[in-house]
């Protein structure tokens, strides 16, 4: 079957139902950077990845696509109860509850649950290649597509919000993010080295996030020396993210609108204006 037809049929069967289910979960505990739109973006990256794999002559089975869309839409649902880096087990339980409630036969329930439960291991140990003689590796595909959503302005926001929620001080934020981002980027390059179009599309997005947090770290050093300038530049952006994280603003476009409407600094308003465009184009 043609990969475009497989994707269309899979999305027709699953996407609206999964999106609505995850939206309801996060309506009780808003996490704008990791809500139902994050899960949708990860699936869209996965669909693009499958199209590129298909171009290499590797066969994608309908069951692989079904397993992957479910894994994409449930991988971070555990953040509702555990916003730490080890939330995969909670996400797995949430998906198990969904399966039990729905009562529908899934192509490979065990493989889906395993991918969800292990996706947050950013050492990537034992994940295996993206595609081998057994076919598509669902865990590897999920991990790399989740990593892709850590790139771009969306990634800047995502990193700042979730790290601040975990209680990481602003002075430590940039260095921790740079370390994590480096690991994700290395995994992306290693996983997708045989897919040049994917590399071409997403390297610039990674570079934007890396440049932002490199400049964030430099600005913090200048602030420490001069004692001023924290209301502009990357540090000013992160302060706005922190303010809205604490106030419970429900989604990224709402955060962007609030900042644009209340802030006069050009760097900050431009960042949030471009962020809003980015998330709306991806969703």
Look at residue 217 in the predicted model and tell me its pLDDT: 95
Main-chain dihedrals φ then ψ at residue 131, nearest 5 degrees: -145, 130
Q: What is the mean pLDDT of the chain?
A: 93
Look at residue 218 in the predicted model and tell me its pLDDT: 93
Q: How far is CA 197 from CA 169, 194, 231, in A?
A: 37, 9, 38
Q: What is the pLDDT of residues 107-160, one digit of tens each?
A: 899 999 999 999 988 888 767 899 988 899 999 999 999 999 999 999 999 999
The torsion angle over the Cα atoms of residues 221, 225, 228 and 231, rounded to 10 degrees, is 0
Cα 281 to Cα 37: distance, rounded to the nearest angstrom: 11
Cα 43 to Cα 123: distance, rounded to the nearest angstrom: 22
- pLDDT above 90 (res 94): yes
- pLDDT above 70 (res 255): yes
Write the DSSP string, 65-89: HHHHHHHHHHTTGGGGT--STT-HH
Look at residue 157 in the predicted model and tell me its pLDDT: 97
- Taking a C-beta distance cutoff of 8 angstroms, is the pair 32, 259 a contact? no
Cα 129 to Cα 138: distance, rounded to the nearest angstrom: 10
Minimum mean pLDDT among 62-76, 168-182, 237-251: which range?
237-251
Look at residue 229 in the predicted model and tell me its pLDDT: 61
Look at residue 228 in the predicted model and tell me its pLDDT: 61
Cα 147 to Cα 141: distance, rounded to the nearest angstrom: 10
Site of tokens 């771009």: 152
DSSP state of 57: T
Tally of residues, the chain: 283
Site of tokens 């989604």: 251
Look at residue 227 in the predicted model and tell me its pLDDT: 63
Q: What is the pLDDT of residues 195-239, one digit of tens each?
A: 999 999 999 999 999 999 999 999 999 887 766 667 799 999 999
- Taking a C-beta distance cutoff of 8 angstroms, is the pair 192, 203 a contact? no
Of residues 252 and 105, more confidently modeled: 252
Residue ranges and CATH numbers for the domains of the chain are 1-146 (1.10.3210.10), 150-283 (no CATH)
Tell which residue, 192, 197, 210, has the closest CA to residue 151: 210
Minimum mean pLDDT among 79-88, 117-126, 179-188, 226-235: which range?
226-235
Q: What is the pLDDT of residues 12-54, one digit of tens each?
A: 999 999 999 999 999 988 899 999 999 999 999 999 999 999 9
Cα 110 to Cα 221: distance, rounded to the nearest angstrom: 48
Predicted TM-score (pTM) of the model is: 0.94
């Amino acid at each position: 079957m043609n990969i475009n037809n497989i994707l269309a049929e899979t999305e027709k069967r699953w996407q609206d139902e999964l999106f609505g289910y995850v939206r309801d979960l996060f309506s009780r505990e808003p996490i704008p950077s990791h809500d139902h739109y994050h899960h949708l973006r990860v699936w869209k990256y996965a669909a693009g990845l499958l199209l590129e794999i298909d171009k290499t002559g590797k066969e994608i089975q309908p069951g692989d696509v079904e397993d992957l869309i479910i894994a994409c839409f449930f991988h971070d649902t555990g953040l509702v109860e555990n916003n730490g880096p080890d939330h995969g087990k909670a996400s797995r339980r949430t998906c198990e509850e969904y399966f039990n409630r729905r009562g529908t036969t899934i192509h490979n329930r065990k493989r889906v649950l395993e991918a969800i439960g292990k996706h947050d291991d950013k050492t990537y140990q034992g994940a295996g290649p993206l595609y081998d003689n057994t076919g598509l590796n669902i865990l590897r595909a999920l991990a790399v597509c989740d990593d892709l959503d850590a790139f771009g302005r969306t990634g800047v926001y995502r990193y700042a919000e979730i790290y601040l929620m975990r209680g990481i001080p602003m002075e430590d934020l940039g260095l921790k993010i740079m370390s994590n981002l480096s690991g994700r980027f290395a995994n992306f390059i290693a996983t997708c080295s045989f897919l040049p179009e994917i590399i071409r599309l997403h390297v610039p997005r990674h570079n934007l996030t890396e440049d932002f947090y490199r400049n964030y770290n430099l600005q913090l050093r200048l602030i420490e020396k001069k004692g001023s300038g924290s209301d502009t530049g990357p540090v000013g952006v992160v302060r706005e993210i922190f303010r809205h994280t604490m106030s419970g603003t429900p989604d990224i476009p709402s955060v962007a609108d609030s900042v644009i409407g209340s802030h006069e600094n050009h760097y900050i308003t431009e960042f949030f204006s471009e962020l809003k465009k980015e998330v709306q184009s991806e969703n």
